[in-house]
Amino acid sequence: MDEGGGFNSEAVTSGILITLPERPAPAANSRSRPPYSCPDCGHVLRVSGLGRHRVYFELDDERSDHAVMNRVCPECGHGLPGKNPR
């Protein structure tokens, strides 16, 4: 910093540039994930998200506005993968 409180470009000879680690770009189409098929009854659901953040939708729910909220297969009640209560 110079006497007037500004920066003098000649006085700055070194610095550290901090960048965030690169992350893979999100999928252009979230529907590219394979659907989930219930192992008990074969009912097929569309999946969005990963791990315990998975959200399941019926295949005909094009707008994704009615998620399967009770964490069980709507047809047979089998627990869906992800974080299920024990």
CA distance 31 to 48: 8
- Nearest in space to 83 (alpha carbons), one of 60, 53, 57: 53
Q: What pLDDT digit, counting tens, does each position of 50-84 carry?
A: 888 889 999 998 888 899 999 999 999 999 987 65
Q: Percent of the chain at pLDDT above 90? A: 38
Q: What pLDDT digit, counting tens, does each position of 26-38 carry?
A: 444 545 689 999 9
pTM of the model: 0.58
CA distance readout (Å), 38 to 31, 44, 73, 75, 80: 18, 6, 7, 9, 8
